[in-house]
Chains A and B, each alone.
Chain A
Amino acid sequence: ETGVTQSPTHLIKTRGQQVTLRCSSQSGHNTVSWYQQALGQGPQFIFQYYREEENGRGNFPPRFSGLQFPNYSSELNVNALELDDSALYLCASSRSNTGGGETQYFGPGTRLLVL
């Protein structure tokens, strides 16, 4: 176990709805990265948060947004859900003095199904 927790574990939404996923980072870690893993694929980087600000973003539209809180926990928000958003959403935490941190530890993920 990595100490990274995510909630909820599973979620079912309908197209057009909005969803919020949550992540608590490992103790001592100050950076949180979010990834989307479609079935049978490798995780794809969504964005990273450091010092409560977005510190890098992958090729995802603006309807994917996030937050980081003073305790380093984080939220991923997805608006206007589409069927293709169905995936496992993974949160990873790391420690860095400059943002990032090479060694990332993943949580168990949130399985989102959009109908």
Chain B
Amino acid sequence: QQQVKQSPQSLIVQKGGISIINCAYENTAFDYFPWYQQFPGKGPALLIAIRPDVSEKKEGRFTISFNKSAKQFSLHIMDSQPGDSATYFCAASDSNSGYALNFGKGTSLLVTP
């Protein structure tokens, strides 16, 4: 079964706006939560990642917010740009499984000019 649930499936945001993608998980053993960006015909590229001992991590325009009690985490893309148009995947993993990644189903983001 899907261990990481991701929403929305697709998202349209105007240039300069904030894109927000949400993920939820059940397995409390997960201790590493990365976000990947994938362009058509390419492999996923690591964007940013967080561990559950931190509630927020920011790198440039990308921010992860993490709520351990709710078992939810989200990606915020500030000042969204047309070049950010891609598919975004959240994932979760843990040391017991060699950090095998459990991916969400992805969110297709379109940033309009």
Contacts and interface: CB of A to CB of B under 8 A. Distances in A.
Interface string B23-59: 0000000001010100001111110010000000000
Given A103-B34, A106-B36, 12 more contacts: A33-B100, A44-B103, A55-B98, A56-B98, A56-B100, A90-B44, A92-B101, A100-B97, A101-B99, A102-B93, A102-B99, A105-B46
Given A56-B97, A102-B99, A42 B104 contact: yes
B43 A106 contact: yes
Interface residues of A, number: 31
Contacts of A44: 103
Interface class of chain A by DSSP? loop
A35 interface: yes
5 contacts: A42-B105, A43-B89, A102-B93, A103-B49, A106-B46
Nearest to A49: B98
Nearest to A107: B43
Interface in A90-106: 90, 92, 94, 96, 99-106
A79 interface: no
A42 B105 CA distance: 5
Residue in B89, B95, B97, B99 with the greatest tally of chain A CB atoms within 10 Å: B99
A43 B93 contact: no
A41 B44 contact: no
B106 A41 contact: yes
